[in-house]
């Protein structure tokens, strides 16, 4: 039996998905929330939020993600980064998952990936857990009711957490599996309740499809000056580097917090919501994000709360350091109504340096920007991926390697050509440690980071006096109003100067060793910008 608004000629049965019990199409937020509580999936918190635990999977499972190696993608996938799955194994996996689903209750959400109608993707998400429907309804973009009656999905995501994969039978690694089949336009997710797999699967999909149209897909947040979309800034960075926090600047218009495209028309958000980390969330430093944690239907994942008062504990990471909230973009008062911006005027690459040796901000030449984009140096923050319990220095190319199905140079060359065409100014911003490495130093003061970004975005920073960093070659401002001069020279923040020098040299060698694999694919000016 099925319920809800749907294209009458594009129900699940028309896609060959038959034998299910109740199917609910395009329920509203309230309906999804109420049904999820009734099913015992979570509880209603203060302000009408939805509180839920995702079980043993409290982060993504990148090692369980596969791309089906069909003829149409065999020559375009970056296989070193995307483990292949044999088409025959996928067919068995799909058949077994559909058999497992028979008789069950499922929710279908028909949504758009992309705010620009010229480039959006129509995505159908089928979820076993009702609250996953609420989550993805927040995260992607919601069609009008009239559009649902003619909606025909370009791709379909099926998420069934109670299905356990069999590595021997399905050609995967464990009971958890995320399998992407570009030929059959299907994404299968099984064995994990972590909702982030839904949104990142769609992001991976767009990262593959859009470059063929000359569109740069970006793991970034974005905002623009009030009343002036031409003054757009994008913030590249992995989870935990500050993408969401720093883009939610009350003096600017928020385009989005995580995933965007850069087309010939400008910048556009892929999503319709935000997925913010809540650990240590400060009502003074991040008031708007904090406020969403008591708004109707915000999904609160893996946060400890008082069972009597439902008060959230923003410091208790006993479930995971990757506690999060998911909410629609319009919950942020200064959010863009259309989630569109101009061509980026400023490009900020966020890094979380656990070594504590990078400056809080540095200006990059276009060649240096491509170098740092391909390098993607940062630290994996605790909890974001399974098994990560403290910051781990890593190189994640394009500031999002887990979501990049094509070779890094494809994205690097797209970014470089767009910077050249539109004259963006590029900055590297360290939101990691200062005064010492992780365990000794302290996190970069967010007030200093905000002051430096404000100066970069309003154009005053570019007028500053800069010094060339002896280790990394980029330019660092000597003095900025509102920022301690000592903070701008990381060596000055260390009590142990020899320790700083040793850590800096260690990081230089890591940059050099990591970049060797890109040297055959890049131009001479980028080679000249290489560190080490």
Task: Give the separation between CA 94 and CA 188, rounded to whole angstroms.
Answer: 7
Output the pLDDT for position 387.
65
User: What are the E-state strand segments in 353-509?
Assistant: 361-364, 377-380, 392-395, 425-430, 433-434, 442-443, 466-468, 475-477
- When pLDDT is cut at 50, 70 and 90, the band that residue 458 belongs to is very high
Task: State how far the alpha carbon of 430 is from the alpha carbons of 90, 242, 436, 443, in Å.
Answer: 41, 10, 13, 10
Output the pLDDT for position 389.
60
- When pLDDT is cut at 50, 70 and 90, the band that residue 248 belongs to is confident
Q: What is the mean pLDDT of residues 221-236?
A: 97
Q: Is 244 a catalytic residue?
A: yes
Output the pLDDT for position 244.
87
Task: State how far the alpha carbon of 426 is from the alpha carbons of 49, 375, 406, in Å.
Answer: 38, 15, 24
Q: Is the pTM of this model over 0.75?
A: yes
Task: Give the separation between CA 154 and CA 158, rounded to whole angstroms.
Answer: 14
Q: Is 173 a catalytic residue?
A: no
b/e for 94-109, b at 16 or more Cβ within 10 A?
Answer: bebbbeebeeeebbbb
Helix axes 130-139, 29-38, angle to 10 degrees: 150
Statement: residue 384 has pLDDT above 90: no
Out of 96, 116, 231, 258, pick the active-site residue. Answer: 258
Place of tokens 């060339």: 468
Statement: residue 385 has pLDDT above 90: no
Statement: residue 383 has pLDDT above 60: no
Q: What is the mean pLDDT of residues 513-531?
A: 93
Dihedral class, residue 55 (left if φ above 0, else alpha if ψ from -120 to 50, else beta) = left
Output the pLDDT for position 60.
94
Task: Give the separation between CA 213 and CA 207, rounded to whole angstroms.
Answer: 11
52: β partners: 301
- The residues, any chain, with a CB within 8 Å of residue 381's CB and separated by 6 or more, are 238, 239, 240, 241, 277, 321, 322, 352, 388, 391
- When pLDDT is cut at 50, 70 and 90, the band that residue 391 belongs to is low
Kindly state the tokens that stand for 355: 């070594």
pLDDT, tens digit, 9 for 90 and up, residues 320-366: 999 999 999 999 999 999 999 999 999 999 999 999 999 999 999 99
Pairing state between β 425-430 and 392-395: unpaired
Instruction: Yes or no: say if 444 and 117 are a contact pair by the CB < 8 Å rule.
Output: no
Pure H helices in 163-266: 167-170, 196-209, 243-247
Q: What is the mean pLDDT of residues 191-211?
A: 98
Place of tokens 């799909």: 94
Out of 57, 141, 277, 324, pick the active-site residue. Answer: 324
Out of 127, 201, 232, 239, pick the active-site residue. Answer: 239
b/e for 131-154, b at 16 or more Cβ within 10 A?
Answer: bbbbbbbbbbbbbeeeebeebebe
Out of 132, 219, 343, 471, pick the active-site residue. Answer: 219
Task: Give the separation between CA 28 and CA 140, rounded to whole angstroms.
Answer: 14
Q: Is 60 a catalytic residue?
A: yes
Output the pLDDT for position 86.
98
Task: Give the separation between CA 235 and CA 218, rounded to whole angstroms.
Answer: 9
Q: How far is C-alpha 283 from the chain's CA centre?
A: 23
Statement: residue 474 has pLDDT above 70: yes
pLDDT, tens digit, 9 for 90 and up, residues 130-184: 999 999 999 999 999 999 999 999 999 999 999 999 999 999 999 999 999 999 9
Out of 33, 57, 60, 69, pick the active-site residue. Answer: 60
What mean pLDDT is reported for the chain? 95
Out of 49, 221, 244, 378, pick the active-site residue. Answer: 244
Out of 124, 170, 199, 200, pick the active-site residue. Answer: 200
Output the pLDDT for position 238.
87
């Amino acid at each position: 039996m099925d319920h809800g608004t749907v294209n009458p000629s594009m129900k699940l049965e028309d896609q060959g998905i038959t034998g299910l019990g109740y199917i609910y199409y395009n329920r509203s937020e309230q309906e999804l929330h109420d049904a999820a509580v009734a099913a015992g999936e979570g509880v209603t918190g203060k302000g009408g939020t939805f509180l839920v635990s995702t079980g043993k999977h409290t982060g993504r499972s990148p090692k369980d993600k596969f791309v089906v190696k069909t003829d149409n993608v065999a020559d375009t996938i970056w296989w070193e980064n995307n483990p292949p799955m044999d088409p025959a194994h996928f067919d068995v996996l799909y058949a077994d998952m559909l058999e497992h689903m028979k008789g069950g209750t499922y929710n279908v959400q028909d949504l758009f990936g992309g705010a620009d109608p010229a480039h959006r993707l129509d995505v159908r998400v089928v979820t076993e857990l009702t609250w996953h429907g609420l989550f993805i309804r927040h995260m992607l973009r919601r069609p009008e009711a009239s559009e649902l009656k003619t909606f025909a999905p370009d791709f379909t995501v099926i998420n069934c957490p109670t299905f356990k994969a069999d590595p021997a039978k399905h050609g995967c690694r464990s009971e958890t599996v995320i399998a992407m089949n570009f030929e059959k336009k299907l994404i299968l997710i099984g064995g994990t309740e972590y909702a982030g797999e839904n949104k990142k699967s769609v992001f991976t999909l767009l990262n593959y499809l859009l470059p063929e149209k000359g569109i740069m897909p970006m793991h970034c947040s974005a905002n623009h000056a009030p009343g002036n979309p031409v003054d757009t800034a994008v913030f590249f960075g992995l989870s935990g580097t500050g993408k969401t926090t720093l883009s939610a600047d009350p003096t600017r218009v928020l385009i989005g917090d995580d995933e965007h495209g850069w087309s010939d028309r400008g910048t556009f958000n892929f999503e319709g919501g935000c997925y913010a980390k809540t650990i240590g969330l400060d009502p003074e430093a991040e008031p708007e994000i904090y406020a969403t944690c008591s708004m109707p239907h915000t999904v609160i994942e893996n946060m400890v709360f008082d069972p009597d008062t439902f008060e959230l504990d923003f410091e208790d990471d006993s479930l995971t350091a990757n506690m999060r909230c998911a909410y629609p973009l319009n919950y942020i008062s200064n959010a863009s109504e259309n989630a569109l911006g101009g061509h980026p005027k400023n490009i900020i690459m966020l890094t979380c340096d656990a070594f504590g040796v990078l400056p809080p901000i540095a200006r990059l030449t276009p060649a240096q920007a491509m170098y740092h984009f391909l390098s993607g140096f940062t630290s994996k923050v605790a909890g974001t991926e399974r098994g990560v319990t403290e910051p781990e220095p890593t190189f994640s190319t394009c500031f999002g390697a887990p979501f990049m199905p094509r070779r890094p140079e494809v994205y690097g060359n797209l970014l470089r050509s767009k910077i050249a065409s539109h004259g963006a100014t590029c900055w590297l911003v360290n939101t990691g440690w200062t005064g010492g490495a992780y365990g000794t130093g302290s996190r970069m003061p967010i007030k200093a980071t905000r002051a430096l970004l404000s100066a970069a975005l309003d154009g005053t920073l570019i007028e500053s006096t800069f010094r060339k960093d002896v280790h990394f070659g980029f330019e660092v401002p000597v003095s900025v109003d509102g920022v301690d001069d000592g903070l701008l020279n990381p060596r000055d923040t260390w009590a142990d100067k020899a320790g700083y020098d040793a850590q800096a040299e260690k990081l230089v060698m890591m940059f050099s060793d990591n970049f060797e694999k890109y040297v055959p694919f890049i131009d001479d000016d980028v080679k000249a910008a290489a560190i080490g």
